[in-house]
């Protein structure tokens, strides 16, 4: 009987691997795209990014509007909890200078926040816009 050396067996197995697997790995080429397709793809990506940036800029409010919204919410919370929706109590606090609300980089009185938010300094209107039933 014919005996093969281990080197010969290894060579035969390696050659068999190259014939079977080598065809899979070595003969495959990458995707070839024409230049026109690459240009169209690049333009599509740029347009998509521009649309996303435009939509995102409209969804996220600017810092000033967030600050105003937060100042208005804080002021209305104080109107209802501290002053009990009373116009007289709010006017007294404004006269004493104790009804200040954080806004922007500093503080502002409630009537200034109301002027910016609603366009009026009428305290009764401001209090009613906070969701209160106005009491005198």
**Could you report the average pLDDT of every consecutive run of 10 residues in the chain (136 residues)?**
58 60 57 83 95 77 69 91 90 89 86 90 90 76
**Residues 79 and 132 sit within 8 Å (Cβ to Cβ):** yes
| Residues 6 or more apart in contact with residue 118 via CB below 8 angstroms | 125, 126, 129
Name the pTM for this structure.
0.51
Of 14, 40, 59, the residue that ends a domain is 59
Residues 118 and 71 in one domain: yes
Q: What domain range is 80 assigned to?
A: 63-129
pLDDT for the residue numbered 46: 96
Q: Phi-psi region for residue 100, left (φ > 0), alpha (ψ -120 to 50) or beta?
A: beta
Q: Is residue 134 part of a domain?
A: no
Q: Is residue 135 part of a domain?
A: no
Q: Is residue 86 part of a domain?
A: yes
Residues 75 and 111 in one domain: yes
Residue 71: CB atoms within 10 Å: 21
């Amino acid at each position: 009987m014919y005996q093969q050396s281990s080197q010969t067996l290894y060579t035969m197995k390696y050659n068999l691997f190259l014939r079977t697997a080598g065809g899979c790995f070595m003969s495959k080429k990458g995707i070839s795209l024409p230049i026109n397709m690459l240009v169209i793809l690049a333009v599509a990506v740029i347009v998509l990014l521009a649309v996303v940036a435009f939509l995102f800029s409209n969804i996220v409010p600017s810092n000033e509007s967030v600050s105003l919204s937060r100042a208005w919410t804080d002021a209305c919370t104080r109107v209802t909890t501290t002053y009990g929706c009373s116009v007289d109590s709010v006017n007294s606090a404004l006269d004493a200078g104790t009804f200040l609300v954080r806004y922007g980089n500093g503080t502002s009185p409630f009537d200034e926040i109301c002027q910016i938010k609603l366009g009026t300094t009428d305290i009764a209107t401001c209090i009613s816009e906070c969701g209160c039933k106005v009491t005198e």
